A = this chain, B = another copy of it.
Amino acid sequence: MNKQLTEIDHVRPNCGVIGVWGRPEASTLAYLGLYALQHRGQESAGIVSSDGSKLYHHARMGLVADVFRSREILDRLPGSMAIGHNRYSTTGKSTPDNVQPLLVEDRTGPIAISHNGNLVNYTPLRKFLEEEGSLFQTSSDSELILQLLARSHGKTLSDRLVEALKMVRGAYSLVLLTARQMIVLRDPHGFRPLCLGKFNGGTVVASESCALDLLEAEYVRDIEPGEILVIDESGLNSIKFASSSHKAHCIFEFVYFSRPDSRVFGDNVDKTRRKLGHSLARAHPALDADYIISVPDSSNTAALGFAHESGKPFEIALIRNHYVGRTFIEPEQPMRDFGVKIKFNPVVGVLKGKRVVVVEDSIVRGTTLKKLVRLVRKAGVREVHVRVSSPPIRNPCFYGMNFPTRSELMAAWHSVEEIREFIEADSLEYLTPEELLAAVPHQDCQGYCTACFTGNYPVPIDDEDGPVRFDW
């Protein structure tokens, strides 16, 4: 009867990756980077380091601070190069075997990989490789990339990567480590973020710039979509292995995934997320509301934006308990809305007798929001108006977001009015896809992947038997 409290109703980010080059204590820095990226993956954490001749590995299920619980563990990861990984499972079961970074050996020696993203032709590729006699030890698409790499015949690692990547399609931001090289790359569409920083003689790459901030590294630029960056003793060499006229940045990074203090896709998340709040307030106001409240902490920024634009006061009406662990023991006599109540407690003094706008960043199943609405009503609120700073989610993601299946997506099967009725709100309004695209940077419709909202998949899904990784 243990409740997985992290399974609160959200699209889950997929993974965080980090790479550190040219610094003593590289593994400690990678550990700190993973810690800053903890929100991108809370199921497992791992680091592989290199001292120039050997690779060292430690990876486990658990939060970063639990996986690396002592100085001794980091001491067993020596060397001035290290890559790390936080994970939610996407492709591949969430089991110890799929914990990353993955460390293998091919004819050129040991190689490790950290992968953020998801391939869309995993199944036919795996079938092909199995026919060729390949042996698989995990069900992760990262191993598949390494299998292709092992079979390619180029002279250098980057040559072989170019050859291997010709076979794969989908979303991938990768950091690879051999004894003497770190290689960083991003798929041609640039689905997932990946940025480059410098510090004190060293180089760092990370999914989000908040990791650079903690390490006191200076943000340099994003890794380009279709770029391979080879980092070794001779310096940094950039290779363009592919190009796409269409960028397809995951727009959900701005909506929910990334931390507000990060910079992704070249822009400040806080600034953009605030703009979503502004647009929402303009296009979907709640004229009679007394207060604007957020569901802490993920919709704080959008709610602040909404409040500023609407001129109505922002209020903290839900106190979040941050001691929530990964599992929680529920009473055997079930308590109504236990999972939400253990996480949030309403501030009666703020809510009683008021009309409030609850700003939420997205709705997936709607079950948590329904409980939250009930919670604030019980605290005596008069009216609850829900405003969502993104459009209804109607389609699954095949590029690395950790989604429920389509059958569980509330908006795939129900109208906005039906959802409103389900969550028992007095009103419910969403940003439209157009409003969303207008609010994010570069206002170029082709620069973003909005498949989950619109169904327009920028890279076709051709897993032979359908995208079997998702059970719909």
Contact = CB atoms under 8 A, between A and B. Distances in A.
B135 A329 contact: no
Given A259-B345, A261-B348, A319-B261, A25 B104 contact: no
Interface in A96-115: 103-107
A94 to B, nearest CB: 15
Interface residues of A, number: 83
A70 interface: yes
A156 to B, nearest CB: 17
A373 B32 CA distance: 22
A240 interface: no
B135 A270 contact: no
Given A131-B107, A134-B135, A25 B259 contact: no
Residue of A74, A130, A316, A332 contacting most chain B CB atoms (<10 Å) = A316
A104 B345 contact: no
Interface stretch (A165-173, A320-328, A447-455): A320-328
Interface in A213-258: 213-214, 216
A349 interface: yes
A472 interface: no
A-B pairs, 10 with minimum CB distance: A133-B151, A107-B130, A65-B325, A135-B150, A268-B349, A261-B319, A38-B323, A271-B349, A261-B345, A322-B322
Given A65-B323, A107-B130, A133-B134, 19 more contacts: A28-B331, A32-B331, A35-B323, A36-B321, A38-B321, A64-B323, A66-B325, A68-B329, A103-B137, A104-B137, A107-B127, A133-B151, A134-B134, A134-B135, A210-B319, A214-B342, A259-B345, A270-B350, A297-B320
